[in-house]
Every structure is written in C-alpha cells, then in structure tokens.
Amino acid sequence: MDLVCPLCNGIKDTVIRCSICSAKMKDNGPIVNFLDDYSPYLSNDITQLVDGAPQDQCVHLFSCEKCKYDKRVKINRVRI
C-alpha cells in the first residue's frame, strides 16, 4: 500500500474557503514544488523535513484569486 495525497492524485477535491473574503481558493499544488525552486539540491524527503510536514501529510499552497490571500493547507495522505 502507498500513502498518496488525494489532491495530487486527483482522487478528491477539497474546497478551501478564503479566511478573508470566503471565496473558493485555488489549489496551486504541493508546496515542495515551490521550495524546489529555492533548494535545487535537496531531495523531496529533506525538503519535507525542512518544511516541517510529516510524511503522512502533503502541504498545498492555496490562493484566493479575489483578494490574493494565500495559505498552506495540510492534506492528509490516504492509503491506496
């Protein structure tokens, strides 16, 4: 069995509402994609440790297209 993130794999759609204006926030993907830009020599595993996210969670960056607010949301990985 594998632990996978339901959002990265398109299994599930999670609706996150903006804390500021309540609009539906857009999923920009896992935060490791962004961290990789700044730490090209780190593997994903190390990046996850740096980010403080446990192995069973995938941290996604959600952003509000209305007011530009963004936040990190921890998504629990599921077993498939």
Distance of closest approach, residue 75 Cβ to Zn ion, in angstroms? 5
Q: Is 67 one of the binding residues for Zn ion (CB under 5 A)?
A: yes
Does residue 16 belong to the site contacting Zn ion (CB under 5 A)? no
Note whether 18 binds Zn ion by CB under 5 A: yes
| Phi-psi label, residue 22: left if phi above 0, alpha if psi -120 to 50, beta otherwise | left
Task: Give the DSSP per-residue string, 1-68.
Answer: --EE-TTTTTS-----B-TTT-PBPEEEEETHHHHHHH-TTS-HHHHHHHHT--TTEEEEEEE-TTT-
User: Does position 20 bind Zn ion by CB under 5 A?
Assistant: yes
Kindly indicate which of the ranges 3-11, 31-39, 42-50 contains the residues binding Zn ion, using the contact rule CB under 5 A: 3-11
Residue (8 or 42) nearer to Zn ion, CB: 8
Binding residues for Zn ion, per CB under 5 A?
Answer: 5, 7-8, 18, 20-21, 23, 30, 58, 64, 66-67, 69
